Structures are given as structure tokens and as C-alpha cells.
Amino acid sequence: MADDLPLILVSNRGPVQFGLDDAGERTQQRGGGGLVTALSGLVRLLGEGVWIAAALTDEDVEVSREHGDKAFTITDQLDREYLIRMLEIEPDVQHKFYSIIANPLLWFIQHYLWDLSNVPDITGHERDAFEHGYVPVNEQFADVVAQEVEARGGRAVVMLHDYHFYLVPERVRERCPDVFLHHFVHVPWPQPDAWRTLPGWMRDPLIRGLLGNDVVAFHTERYARNFLLTCQELLDLRVDFGELTVRVGDRTVATRWYPISIDAEAFEALADSPEVRAVEKQLEQQRREFLILRVDRTDLSKNVLRGFKAFDTMLEDHPELAERVTFLALLVPSRQDVDEYIEYMDKVRRLAADVNLKHGTTDWQPIDLRFDDDFTQSMAAYKLFDALVVNPIFDGMNLVAKEGSLVNRRDGVLVLSEHAGVYEELGAFAISVHPFDIQDQADALYRALTMDPEERHARRNACARVVRENDLGKWLRMQLEDIERIRG
Amino acid sequence: MADDLPLILVSNRGPVQFGLDDAGERTQQRGGGGLVTALSGLVRLLGEGVWIAAALTDEDVEVSREHGDKAFTITDQLDREYLIRMLEIEPDVQHKFYSIIANPLLWFIQHYLWDLSNVPDITGHERDAFEHGYVPVNEQFADVVAQEVEARGGRAVVMLHDYHFYLVPERVRERCPDVFLHHFVHVPWPQPDAWRTLPGWMRDPLIRGLLGNDVVAFHTERYARNFLLTCQELLDLRVDFGELTVRVGDRTVATRWYPISIDAEAFEALADSPEVRAVEKQLEQQRREFLILRVDRTDLSKNVLRGFKAFDTMLEDHPELAERVTFLALLVPSRQDVDEYIEYMDKVRRLAADVNLKHGTTDWQPIDLRFDDDFTQSMAAYKLFDALVVNPIFDGMNLVAKEGSLVNRRDGVLVLSEHAGVYEELGAFAISVHPFDIQDQADALYRALTMDPEERHARRNACARVVRENDLGKWLRMQLEDIERIRG
């Protein structure tokens, strides 16, 4: 950091993941998920700092133990050397923390996904998962963060990430009053009534925990305002919607918003790689006149079902498109240890089958549904779409919209939900859709496929320009500048 | 009204309902539902005014036609004479208006009941129901209101009721600029994100329609604030949270809150009637040591399932209560033309059966589930409960809590959800429960049944006192006083 304060990064997934190859040799891979990629730009600022994450594989645990469960130096795939520390969490505790409380409980609340007349039930089971899962994992992380801060003389900038760690900041602040705590929440922050789904004994500590920070950051202004509303309404705290601050005792906590992005340059280079071009060629050979694309984790917030229903409606409304269009759905299976996700994938599969049975012919399968985690394939498909469907119910940001708009080669049109965080940046150049309005989405698909080439071109260019301008470097820079300003 | 302005009342259900008896003779009954009872107190103020409602039975339609579809004078069961006007609505239009848009679409949004990853889908079907159901019914009511206002020289106080008529005020104001429009919303007003479930083409006219009023009234301050938030966030209007007003063009719309109640005196007299005492005797003979009671429509917002789960948990935690307690659930079937309600009643039935199978014995059925609409029975049960369960997910007010607290004879304890509108008045004297926390509700039931008699007595007395003080007369008086003040 600027005046040589060490940086301490905290995220559930770390920058590397250890494993074993077929010969039993240890392997080191890049950590999965978009967040790790985004945070990777902070590595050059780590200096004497450390990146703290959970040990998620057996081999992560092994490596961590070899280093006495302390921090150790790694060399990453970009040949950068820095310290990481991996926390071993008991499997049972990890299950309670991750698969009961963080997902689905908190995730569902923050995306308005609970079917409230039926679920959730907060029973002894959930209470146990909170008290013996979420709380101890947060305590474990907080204590390690505090140790690392103390080892650096008690002063550091700590950047925490996401809904896994809401209790960490308050506990770190108690032990290390001089630390600067910055917490980025990558999911939407819903309005206070959504938090009423949780009883006070769980809800209040979560919000109070987060208020241990100096800055609580979100992707959009709306989430920042919702956070202030939550503090005002549920904890009766004094907030300032002009300054975007909340008063907690004698401290002032700032909320801020920074739309996350991608590394545009690296992404464009990757899109041009031989691997991607090879897959692109295959897809190009399979394609019909029009290609509609979606790329998503199989998350309930992504609204896959209504996307297929809209496609169904479009085919009904426009029989002339029969055999001329494919809806390629590249879905990465997600959280298959959570019942709701298993059921959802099942519904997606059944609906795709129904639509194909209804409209398909001997030679034409309208929806090409692929469940796998193949980034090269996604990248290749990004280059080829005529319409990219990003229709989430609610979504913190949604990077697919940015990725696809950037590398597409056919002036493909972005069909974008009003409720995605990215809408604030790209909405003006996309065709807006309302995520619950099937007819609206069907009309939007048709409009995208039949749009005049000049307009398509202008829109696509505008999207790509915004993505290049607001790229990942800017996202990090703005946060760091604000940290300097707020500390000063 | 005070300075002799005529009053025009508008509600979906009217004060009387016509039918035919076995001999084919016309009958006239009191209109059903708690709202009609509440509004009945306004009849003495009607003067030259009129009460406008929908013609809901075949005989209502017949009577209305006999009067050339104009207003006509009735004599009600209290021997009061006044004008009513009943609107005949095409059955197909009525279905679209009532059973697709008003219920479930708006009702579910206002109670946070949609399971968003699955429902609702806004398709051509819903668009048609809005455009050819909700809109024309609202236009029909608005035009009749305007006619009645014009027939009175263009000046009147119009009091509209509930979510059926959000489009009426704006249209009346256009035709009758000098009218005073007051609209009471009896359901919760949710936070703005809940309204995002509706596409703008439906959402914006609904809110703008409501802003045609001079006063928009709710049961609690929280709903009034949520309404202002909605205007601010979704329509970008200037609001004042101190004054509780919103600026619309050159007009100021006030929001207010008045907790509705019951006619305490009449209710206590009724509880003492021979009919009630006869049923009370029967129930008294059947009762075990402890009686837990709930009285509700079978609405998804009422949280019947979690109430039974809590009872199940209590029986598990306290086996000593076996055979000593009955949970009497008096449920009035509701909206059985809406799929979600049919499914819900089914779930309720199955769950009660499961709990009974699990805990019951030859001589003891733990849950006594009765589906019928028998007010005398409810009244008798009110007098006998030891614990009254009112645990809704969200509820505009909930009069069961007030009714039961008022007439109970055993110092029964109110177990009350934090999320019911009535919580603001009775929460301090009830045992509070969180509607999603099953263990909390189980503990609350146990606490209610085992509470020290003095504490029970003090709590019940306090509840009854509040109900007597804030009774229906006060509810009406406060609204009328505010109308005078705002007009002046």
C-alpha cells in the first residue's frame, strides 16, 4: 500500500489450489472462480502482506500442515512470489459453515430466492450450523487475520471478501484497533425486509460484524443504499444517504460502490488463443443462422427457466425461425451438495427437453444444453453469439455480460436483465428485459436476432468500450484511492 | 362529513349481499369479511353519499339491474337506511381482475410470497388479465365514482379500500379535480424491490394510480415509509420522511397510518351470546388441560405450516405434555379458485396428519384441524384458549390477535409474530416469535402454557385494554380528523 502498510487479503478461495496428478505428484493450479482472477491484480501490492484463504482440497491441507499451519511463500502461474496462508477447517464445521449457512441461507436471502411460505425453516439444525459452523469459521479467520496484523506491528490494510466472513471484521477490530478494514460484498445487498427472514439472534451479529469495517463496498450504489437502509431500519443506527455513511458508536463506517470488471486486455488475448480458436471452429461448423447463448452457473438466481420459456414463446410467435436458430446453454453445475440446486438443475433439464420435444425436428434440437465447466468453450461461444441472454432475477454484477460483449465477433446483441448489477453500466446499450416477463424476453430475443446491422454494431462497440474503460485495473485503483482518502 | 361534503365509500365487497332462500324468496345478508364490519361505522356519516361495491352474487346483479344499475336505498340489519350502488362486472373480466391480478399476483407481492426462481411468470396471459381485467374493472369503478361525485356537484370525500382499486384514484381525479381522495391499503406495503417483480408497464401505472389520492393510508408506520421509499426509488419522486409526504407534480400526497381494530363493545356482547355459549360448552367438554388455538383463513401468509412444525417440536422437547394439550386449528378455506391456495391447504392437511400420526394415541389427536367458516365457533374458542398462535410471515394487521385477546376467559397468552402489523400495538404484552424460527415458536408455546398465572393475567389484561382503547371508533375518528386537517 501507498505508505507501506502491509496488505492482508482474505477470501474463501485462495489464489492457488494444490492437488495430486496421476503419478501422485503434487500439482499447483490457479484457484477457481472469477473472484480470484479479479483479486489477482492485488498481488503486486501485497508486499510484506499475505493472502489468507481456506484450505479447500486435501492437498491444500497437507501443504498447510507442512508449513506448520503458518504463512508460506508460493510462486504463482505468473511467476510472482508472495505469502499465502491456508486455513484448515474441520469438514463437519466446513459443511455447516458453507453448505447450510453461507449457501443457501445467506445467498438465498441476498438474492431474494426463498419461497417464504415453505422455506426456510430455522430449526435447531440451522442454529447449530450457525453456532458450530459459521461462527467458529469466522472466529478462526478473524484470529488468523489478527495474528498476521500483530506480526506486522498491529497496522495493516485488511481486504475481506464476501458473505462468508461477515463476523470477521468486528472481531479483528477488537484485537487490532489500529487496523484498516475494507470488506467487499460481491452479492446484492437486499432491502431490510429480506433480512427479516433471519431471526435477530443470527441477523444482528451478522450486520454488527460487518460494521466492524471502515469501508463496506458493493458493486452498485443501490446495494450500498440498501445496506444503509438495513442499518437504519434493523439496528436503528444513524445513517447519511448523502455521504453514504453509518455511525456506529464513535466510529463512522463508509459504504462505497465499485463495479467489478474483467482484465480486458488479458481476456482479449485469451480469446485469440489457438485453443479457443480450435473450439470456435467446431462451434462455427455446428451453428445455424442464429446463435443465442447463455453461460452461467446453475444457480437459481440466473433465471435459466424463464430464459427457455421466452425462447419457447419466440419460436411460437415466429415459426419462420424454425431450424434457423439454436439456443446454446453452457451451464456449469454448481453447489450440488445443496438440495435446492439439485432440484433446479433437474427442472432446467426437463424444461429444455420439453421445449426441444415441442419445437424440434429430426435435424434440429432448438436448445443445446451442456452441463460442464469448460472455459475455453465459453470463450469460443462468446465470439459467435448473435444474442447473449443475461436475464438474472437478481445478480450482484454478472461478468458474463462484460466478457461476452468484449470478445464477440458478430456484433451480437446483449439481452440484459434490469436487475443485474451490470445493468448500470451496460443497460443503455443492451436490449433491456424484465426478468419475470417472459413475453418481454421473447420479444427481446426476436428483436436482437432481427436488428439492423448498423445498430447492432454501434451497440456492441459501445458495450466493449465501456468494458475496456471500466476494467479491472480501474476497479482496484478506485478502491485503493478511496482507502487512502478515508485513512487520511 | 364535517362541512356537509358527501362521503362516497368504495370497497370490493359491499355492506349487504343478496341471495335466494329455498322458497326462491330474495334474502339480504350482511356482506362478509372483516373490512365490511370495520367500514360499517362510516354508514352514519354517509348522509347524501353512497357506498359503491361490486355485485358479487347473481342476485346482487339482479337487484342492481332492477334499479337500472344506479344507486338505490337499502335498510341494513341495524335498520339504517342509506344508498348503495352495486357494479355488475362481466364474469370473465371479474376472473381476470380478481383471480389473476389482485389474487395472487398483487397479494403475493405485498406479502413477499412469490418463490421467485419459479413463479410468477408474466406472460401474455397475465398481460391480458391486466389489460382486460384489472384495468377495465378499475375504469368501471372510477367512472361510477366520478358520476356519483358529479351528481353531487363535483365535491365529495371518496374513501377507497384496498389493492383492488389502485388505478381508480388517478382517473377520478382527472374527471373531478375538486374531489378529496383517501385510499386505505389493508395489506402490507412491501419494500421497493418486491415491486420489481412486476414489469414497469404494470408497476408504474399501479403506483401512479394510487398517487392520484390526497391520502394513502396504511395500518403501520413501516408500510407508510415503504410506500414513500417505493415512490422515491421506482418513480424518482421527491419524498419527505419527516412529513410523510410525496410530491407529484404540483400536488402533495400524504401517507398516514391508522391501525385498524374491532368494535370492542359489540364484540364482547357477541361473545356473551347464547349461541356462543352453547358452542363454548361443547368445546369445554372436549378440551384437555391445555388448549392452543389458531384462527385463520387458509392463506399462505398465515404460516400455518411452521405453526404445526413448532407444535411438533414442542411435543418432542416436552414429552410430559403428551395427551395434555390440543392444538385447535380453525381454518377458513380461502381463494380455492387459485392453485397456490389449493396446494397450500393440501400441505396443511398432510402436515397435520403427519404430526398426529407421530404423536397421537388411541385417545388423543394432538392437532384438531377444522376447515369451515363458523364465526360462532371461533368466538367460543377465543374464550377458551391458553395460547393463541398468530405467527404470520407478514400480515397487514391481523385482527384475530385483537379479537382473541379481548374475549378470552382463561388469561390465555398471545404468541405473536414480529411481522404482523398488530405487533406494534400488542407486541409488548405478547410472547414475540420470529415467523421462520421453528424452535423459537416451540419454546414460545411451551412458555405460554407454563407461564405463571399472575404474569398471564397481567399480559392478557394489558392486551385487552389496548384493544378497547384503540378500538374501531378511534380508527375511523383519526382518519376523519386528518381528512379535515389536510383539506383545511
Give the chain B residue nearest A120 (alpha carbons): B436
Dump pLDDT digits (tens) for B258-292. Answer: 999 999 999 999 999 999 999 999 999 999 999 99
Residues A116, B116: C-beta atoms closer than 8 Å: no
Of B436, B439, B440, which to mutate for an interface test with A (greatest number of A Cβ within 10 Å)? B436
Backbone angles phi, psi at B300, to 5 degrees: -60, -25
Residues A439, B115: C-beta atoms closer than 8 Å: no
Task: Choose among A64, A82, A61: nearest CA to A73.
Answer: A82
Give the DSSP H/E element, type plus range, for residue B346: helix B339-359
A121 to chain B, any CB pair closer than 8 A? The answer is yes
Backbone angles phi, psi at A275, to 5 degrees: -60, -50
Q: Which residues of B touch A190 (CB under 8 A)?
A: 193
A393 to chain B, any CB pair closer than 8 A? The answer is yes
Cell of B56: 358479487
Q: Which residues of A touch B115 (CB under 8 A)?
A: 114-115, 118
Q: Are A298 and A342 in contact (CB under 8 A)?
A: no
Backbone angles phi, psi at A393, to 5 degrees: -60, -55
B421 to chain A, any CB pair closer than 8 A? The answer is no
State how far the Cα of A291 lies from the Cα of A161, in Å rounded to an integer.
36
Local structure of residue B282 (DSSP, 8 states): H
Task: Choose among A252, A270, A251: nearest CA to A262.
Answer: A270
State how far the Cα of B327 lies from the Cα of A290, in Å rounded to an integer.
61
Residues B419, A196: C-beta atoms closer than 8 Å: yes
Residues A121, B197: C-beta atoms closer than 8 Å: no
Distance linking the first and last C-alpha atoms of chain A: 13
Task: Tell me the one-letter amino acid at A149.
Answer: V
pTM for the model stands at: 0.97
Average pLDDT over residues B124-144: 98
Give the DSSP H/E element, type plus range, for residue A162: none
Q: Is A294 helix (H, G, I), strand (E, B) or coil?
A: strand
pLDDT at A77: 85
pLDDT for B2 beyond 60: no
pLDDT at B307: 98
Compare CB distances from A419 to B196, B309, B438 and report the shortest one's residue.
B196
Compare CB distances from A440 to B199, B229, B418 and report the shortest one's residue.
B199
Compare CB distances from A438 to B114, B121, B419 and report the shortest one's residue.
B121
Dump pLDDT digits (tens) for B404-422. Answer: 999 999 999 999 999 999 9
Compare CB distances from A193 to B112, B300, B440 and report the shortest one's residue.
B112
Contact residues, A window 261-300, toward B, CB-based 8 Å cutoff: 300
Q: Is B75 helix (H, G, I), strand (E, B) or coil?
A: strand
Q: Are B136 and B130 in contact (CB under 8 A)?
A: no
Residues A122, B190: C-beta atoms closer than 8 Å: no
Give the chain B residue nearest A434 (alpha carbons): B199
Local structure of residue A219 (DSSP, 8 states): S
Residues B122, A434: C-beta atoms closer than 8 Å: yes
- Pairing mode, strands B238-240 and B245-248: antiparallel
User: What's the gap in Å between the CA of A299 and the closest CA on chain B?
Assistant: 9
Using omega within 30 degrees of 0 as the cis cutoff, is the peptide bond preceding B120 cis? yes
Query: pLDDT by residue for chain A (488 residues), tens digit each?
Result: 556 789 999 999 999 999 999 999 999 998 877 788 788 888 888 889 999 999 999 999 999 999 999 999 999 888 999 999 999 999 999 999 999 999 999 999 999 999 999 999 999 999 999 999 999 999 999 999 999 999 999 999 999 999 999 999 999 999 999 999 999 999 999 999 999 999 999 999 999 999 999 999 999 999 999 999 999 999 999 999 999 999 999 999 999 999 999 999 999 999 999 999 999 999 999 999 999 999 999 999 999 999 999 999 999 999 999 999 999 999 999 999 999 999 999 999 999 999 999 999 999 999 999 999 999 999 999 999 999 999 999 999 999 999 999 999 999 999 999 999 999 999 999 999 999 999 999 999 999 999 999 999 999 999 999 999 998 999 999 999 999 999 98
Of A197, A299, A437, A439, which to mutate for an interface test with B (greatest number of B Cβ within 10 Å)? A437
Q: Are B5 and B42 in contact (CB under 8 A)?
A: no
Compare CB distances from B122 to A198, A344, A438 and report the shortest one's residue.
A438
Ordered alpha helix ranges (H), A272-338:
274-286, 304-317
User: What's the gap in Å between the CA of B430 and the closest CA on chain A?
Assistant: 17
CB pairs under 8 A between A and B: 99
Residues B193, A198: C-beta atoms closer than 8 Å: no
List the domains of chain A with CATH numbers. 7-260+473-487 (3.40.50.2000), 264-470 (3.40.50.2000)
Residues A112, B419: C-beta atoms closer than 8 Å: no
Compare CB distances from A116 to B113, B191, B344 and report the shortest one's residue.
B113
pLDDT grade for B482, boundaries at 50, 70 and 90 = very high
Cell of B409: 376467559
B418 to chain A, any CB pair closer than 8 A? The answer is yes
Compare CB distances from A393 to B113, B116, B200 and report the shortest one's residue.
B116
Give the DSSP H/E element, type plus range, for residue A341: helix A339-359
Q: Is B54 helix (H, G, I), strand (E, B) or coil?
A: strand
Give the chain A residue nearest B126 (alpha carbons): A437
Dump pLDDT digits (tens) for B384-406. Answer: 999 999 999 999 999 999 999 99
The dihedral built from the CA positions of residue B65, B67, B70 and B73, taken in this order, carries a sign that is negative
Give the DSSP H/E element, type plus range, for residue A202: helix A200-210
B122 to chain A, any CB pair closer than 8 A? The answer is yes
